[in-house]
Chain A
């Protein structure tokens, strides 16, 4: 999903920076509030950020398609801390990769953070709330959130590129098809792996720090006890 340095016309770079700005500013505000008022959640915040770091560095082959891509790892922090804080964490990772690996770019940071840090997690969060309302099993819920956040990130990248580079014949839709085939199709198996991994990790978090999940209002104390019992 990384759009490389210089691969977006400057007008689009500015546009996506303007779109990203309010999310990041509000995210930083929430992040500060979280750290000040709920210090005990800091360790899980670090773990969530670390998952974005870890998963977005793994370039995996997409077995069916024959190309490689990487997961985004944003699912965990979306569930625990919401999409706004996730967009700040993603921006940190994207800057790191842009500066040291020439992967992504500073000019394209707005577009990349919009897809990975904002649009993906926002849709994932929506899925999370709806699934919670209908009392879906929490692990299935987490799987879906991570799967959706990952896959939708790549759909958005395809939309961003199709908007910036509409085909001369057929325009936006034709070039969306091209970019969708490159990005989103490759991503499906990786999004499944990511979803399963995040759901598994969530089990470990429940087992070790269920109390923080209760504080973050992800689970009720009864649910924590029930899950612990279920894995005995």
Chain B
């Protein structure tokens, strides 16, 4: 058989992408095809540099082209980079409103169910009551809870340019959450890249306006979403939430380690469900082993900024859509949240002072950099 572009391309149509259900020619993966006698070379432009089946593609391509009579086949991988952008893994979109936010604060934990969203809602409310302009980005795409926490039943306004106006909730807090876009009884069943895209949309295309603090309610774990979040916005600091049991502390350590490796300083640890306050006698009961928060704070060298008790009346606040800080401002829980808010404000100020002169968010053309001696 004769080696020409048409023959090769039509033969390569046999190679299917198992995820996209289309062949690699149709998907425009094959580029830069060069034929020199019986030597053939081309690029495979994959959707992601981390394509798990790229070697399989390569082997199939080489076998097919060789069967057409080529003696030597060179396949080079290139990648389209991050989805939804102009080809760069590192590229920030042209329009981004995140720069109007003075401090982006992560609220995270390694483990689910420790009360991250409750802590986020109450921290936000405490900050707002102290006079700051506050927003919440609910980054838990699969299990958003900010709608319930604040009793929101409005959908945010979406503008023609696809940007979003956040919903203003109790306490003047601006909120964006996946629950505003999805039916509460339907599950969001998305693979990682889709979620990452949604997260990037939330980060860059929400018109927060001028905010002092934007709290980002992280989903549990240390994976795709967490990396997307930490790579796409320069976090000023992180609050890590845990409960006192060893099983929660083990995951909390991983959360701390993650922030360490992505260069986000940890403001402190909040120990939630620290102890139970009896609604009959007011006695404090340590339901879980005592001192977990202290131990982890000490071993990681980060402060324990609050111990939030379990109080039946206060615990109901989340379900009823009003954060405890607003509804029972004199409860021990509310005091603990206000203490945490206070510590967060002060610690972020010291981080800003320590990091003085450090480049945080930059995007330079090489040609425009100043010329200096090394």
Q: Do A and B bind each other?
A: no
